[in-house]
């Protein structure tokens, strides 16, 4: 699938982080929050005015502004990948 920006995820969509494209200081801040290449992220909420959005990553909920989420590139998961990933975590 084509890489897309984290800010484009809709509620309940899941994706895998493939890249963080920003300066090193801000990248480190995002990594400290759990946004690491290869991690699964899920959009939980989008505020009524569209900014910020809440994401689930590593069992934590993190709110990001659109201008910050645009630096994180993800690959959206299809529904079967999501189900397989959830079943693998249960084992």
Q: What is the pLDDT of residue 17?
A: 95
Q: Which residues pair with 78 in a beta bridge?
A: none
10-residue stretch averages of pLDDT, the chain, 91 residues long? 85 95 94 94 93 95 94 85 53 52
Closest to 72 in 3D by CA, of 33, 17, 32, 28: 17
């Amino acid at each position: 699938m084509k890489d897309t920006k984290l800010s484009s995820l809709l509620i309940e969509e899941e994706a895998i982080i493939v890249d963080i494209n920003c300066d090193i200081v801000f990248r480190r801040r995002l990594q400290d929050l759990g946004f690491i290449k290869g991690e699964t992220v899920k959009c939980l909420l989008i505020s009524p005015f569209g900014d910020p959005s809440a994401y689930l990553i590593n069992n934590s909920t993190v709110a990001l502004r659109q201008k910050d989420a645009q630096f994180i590139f993800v690959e959206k998961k299809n529904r079967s990948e999501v189900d397989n990933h959830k079943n693998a975590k249960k084992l």
